[in-house]
Amino acid sequence: MQSKRMTLRALGVGASAAGFLAALPSTASAHHAMGGRTPDDLFTGLISGLAHPVIGLDHLAFVVAVGLLSMRCPQRFLMPLAFVAATALGTLAHLGGLTLPIAEPVIAATVLLAGGLIVLGRGLPWPAFAALFAMAGLFHGYAYGESIFGAEATPVLSYLVGFCAIQYAIAVAAMEGTRRLARLPSGDMAFVRIAGGAIAGVAMVFLHQQGLSYLLP
């Protein structure tokens, strides 16, 4: 009964987050740290790489989810690397001319799936999580590639370094911060499911936006 109440509470938070973000469409869709300008040197490439996973709320939500879902995996520090490495491959694939269809809706769907797993408290075998992270990473990385497309090798390299470093740092911070909170005397982990609800809420906003973009191009 208590678990059901927590699930409903988390879903309520998700709906609230979705409603809030829907009122801020420009913020929810922000993805470019350089104001749309392609990075042209080592510094601008690094800054854009560090910022892109943070200002893109769909990307940030999934990176946090990676940390929360990895928390109880025996290889918890390796699990985020599956996602980070796949984002680098996805970016390189985009720069190499490969096209991934319906990338943005797939990204939103991966965020919704991750948020749902957190809300429901569902664990999976670590290889399944690694496969989910890798598949999602290819699409998230493909989207990252849009910001650096057409740049020279130096800013591309610093861009890759920047977004790989920030993603791993955020995922580990979410994972280890939650583990430390769990060791406090209160030991109340309800906030994890609530965080999952907020992550799912972010996904619902982006799925709604993507649906509208297909219906009203």
Residue 27 contacts by C-beta under 8 Å, 6 or more apart in sequence? 21, 57
Instruction: Pick the closest to residue 61 from 130, 98, 22, 109 (CA basis).
Output: 109
- For 153-164, b/e burial (b = at least 16 CB within 10 A) is eebbbbbbbbbb
Number of H helices and number of E strands within the chain?
9, 0
Name the residue with higher pLDDT: 199 or 23.
Answer: 199
* The one-letter amino acid at 30: A
Question: What ranges do the domains of the chain cover?
Answer: 2-215
Task: Tell if the pTM clears 0.75, that is, is over it.
Answer: yes
pLDDT for 46-100, tens place per residue? 999 999 888 888 999 999 999 999 998 888 999 999 999 999 999 999 999 999 9
